[in-house]
């Protein structure tokens, strides 16, 4: 007796095998409270990280990022943050543009390698939701700190934060990921704005390498969502954690920041003269530890024969010697000068303004408030609390 069927038995076997595979792929792998992360999502995110040469263990990083995504999405719903399709389109366009591709071209390359477009969209969508969420959560706190530091008009807080960056993009070739990571970590140890810019000439493959990696003033709000948290958490002179981009790793140094409603014209300059017994080790100590003028006060007791003078004066009343030096220095930048045979002198710009009667506390608030009370610090604490409160179970 023959068994008749319109479907060959090997086709049935293949379909059944695919069914079992699909069933396994979508089984829960991680549970975050009542939210599920599937094996398929982990595999997709891991492959996405691998294709873009992200550093670290791709599977572990995929699991961690997906857990954080679940927590961030739930928080965004709590604060009634809705998805912004226009913002998502823009972010994806900027992401693809780094590889000199359109969104569709980039998506097709991902799909060809086994990563579906939805995986990429989900990865880009969460930072947009999260940035808006923490903005809403901490709006009052951020607004209050800014109003307290708007010395020009405390009753009218409408300023926008702008940042001055230096960028270095390190190429990552297949098989040489570890070398690229080591180069990035070495560069992140640089303390000097000047030396970081010099390193850009040597190491960076970004178009800005020819100008020492220097990027013009940009508003924090217009930076890509993935980049905002990295930049928002930096102090002046500090270098960001590496940002994986197509074919490379990008790091950024914050050279300066300002509020856009302040006029750039300056009438007064505040500076420090720090004299000390000549010693190359002291120079190295200062280069490694001094980021702002206030940092010099901690060296007064530990440095032999140290003297510190801090002044705010009209720019047109500076001595000839200082007129040659100070205009060439940016805020929080310094140089060493030979004072006498046995002493050295550091000259450092603390800030520039249109007011003469700036107290030390007011200057400190302007130069440090945005660095010490950044949105990223609040966001990181918020996310850490969400992790601690969540029940995370690996299946």
pLDDT digits (tens, 9 = 90+) for 274-333: 998 888 888 888 887 888 888 888 787 778 778 898 888 888 888 888 888 888 888 888
Helix/strand/coil for 193: helix
Mean pLDDT, residues 100-120: 94
Residue scoring higher pLDDT (57 or 26): 57
Express each pLDDT in 48-68 by its tens digit: 999 888 777 899 999 999 999
Q: Name the DSSP class of 362.
A: H
Report whether pLDDT(24) > 60. Answer: no
pLDDT tens, 242-260?
A: 998 878 899 999 998 876 6
User: Is pLDDT of 154 > 50?
Assistant: no
Instruction: Report which secondary-structure segment, H or E, holds 350.
Output: strand 343-353
Q: Are strands 243-245 and 218-219 parallel, antiparallel or unpaired?
A: unpaired
Q: Helices 139-149 and 117-137 sit at what angle, rounded to 10 degrees? A: 60
List residues bridging with 393 in a β-sheet. 31
pLDDT at 382: 85
Is 139-151+161-263+371-384 the same fold as 9-137?
no
CA pair distance 103, 108, nearest whole angstrom: 9
Query: Is residue 163 a contact partner of residue 238, using CB atoms and an 8 Å limit?
Result: no
Q: Is the pLDDT of residue 146 over 70?
A: no
Q: In this predicted structure, what is the pLDDT of residue 323?
A: 86
Torsion of CA 135, 99, 167, 241, to 10 degrees: 60
Could you say which of 3.10.50.40, 3.40.190.10, 3.30.565.10, 3.90.1330.10 is the CATH number of the domain covering 139-151+161-263+371-384? 3.10.50.40
Confidence of residue 13 (pLDDT cuts 50, 70, 90): very low
Q: Give the fold, CATH level 3, of 9-137.
A: Triger factor/SurA peptide-binding fold (1.10.4030)
What's the pTM?
Answer: 0.46
> What is the rounded radius of gyration, in angstroms, for the C-alpha atoms of the chain?
26
Helix, strand, coil abundance in the chain, percent, nearest 5: 50, 20, 30
Q: Nearest CA to 83 among 133, 15, 18?
A: 133
Residue of higher predicted confidence among 27 and 34: 34
Range name among 29-33, 88-92, 102-106, 303-307 with the lowest pLDDT average: 303-307
**Residue spans per domain, the chain:** 9-137, 139-151+161-263+371-384, 268-353
CA 335 vs CA 356, 383, 388: distances in Å: 24, 40, 46
Distance CA 62, CA 70 (A): 12
pLDDT at residue 8 in the model: 52
């Amino acid at each position: 007796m023959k068994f008749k069927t319109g479907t060959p038995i090997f086709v049935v076997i293949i379909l059944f095998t695919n069914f079992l595979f699909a069933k396994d792929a979508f089984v829960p792998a991680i549970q975050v409270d009542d939210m599920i992360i599937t094996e398929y999502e982990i595999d997709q995110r891991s492959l996405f990280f691998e294709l873009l040469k992200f550093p670290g263990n791709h599977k572990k990083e995929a699991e961690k990022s997906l857990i954080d995504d679940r927590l961030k999405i739930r928080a965004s719903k709590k604060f009634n943050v809705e998805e912004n399709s226009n913002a998502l389109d823009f972010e994806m366009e900027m992401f693809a543009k780094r590889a000199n591709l359109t969104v569709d071209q980039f998506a097709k390359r991902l799909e060809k390698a086994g990563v579906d477009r939805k995986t990429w969209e989900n990865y880009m969508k969460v930072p947009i939701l999260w940035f808006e969420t923490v903005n809403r959560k901490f709006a009052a706190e951020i607004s209050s700190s800014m109003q307290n530091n708007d010395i020009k008009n405390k009753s009218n807080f409408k300023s926008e934060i702008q940042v001055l960056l230096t960028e270095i993009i390190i190429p990552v070739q297949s098989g040489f990921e570890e070398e690229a990571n080591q180069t990035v970590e070495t560069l992140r140890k640089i303390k000097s704005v000047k030396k970081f810019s010099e390193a850009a000439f040597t190491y960076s493959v970004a178009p800005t390498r020819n100008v020492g990696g220097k990027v013009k003033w940009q508003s924090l709000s217009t930076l890509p969502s993935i980049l905002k948290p990295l930049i928002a958490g930096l102090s002046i002179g500090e270098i960001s954690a590496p940002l994986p981009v197509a074919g490379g790793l990008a790091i950024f140094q914050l050279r300066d920041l300002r509020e856009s409603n302040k006029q750039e014209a300056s009438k007064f300059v505040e500076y420090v003269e720090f004299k000390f017994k000549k010693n190359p080790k002291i120079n190295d100590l200062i280069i490694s530890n001094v980021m702002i003028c206030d940092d010099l006060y901690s060296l007064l007791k530990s440095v032999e024969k140290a003297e510190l003078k801090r002044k705010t004066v009209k720019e047109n009343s500076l001595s000839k010697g200082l007129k040659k030096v100070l205009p060439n220095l940016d805020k929080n930048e310094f140089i060493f000068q030979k004072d006498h045979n046995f002493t050295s002198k550091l000259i450092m710009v603390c800030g520039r303004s249109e007011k003469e009667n700036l107290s030390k506390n007011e200057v400190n608030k302007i130069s440090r408030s945005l660095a010490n009370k950044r949105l990223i610090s609040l966001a990181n604490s918020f996310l850490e609390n969400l992790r601690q409160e969540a029940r995370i179970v690996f299946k």
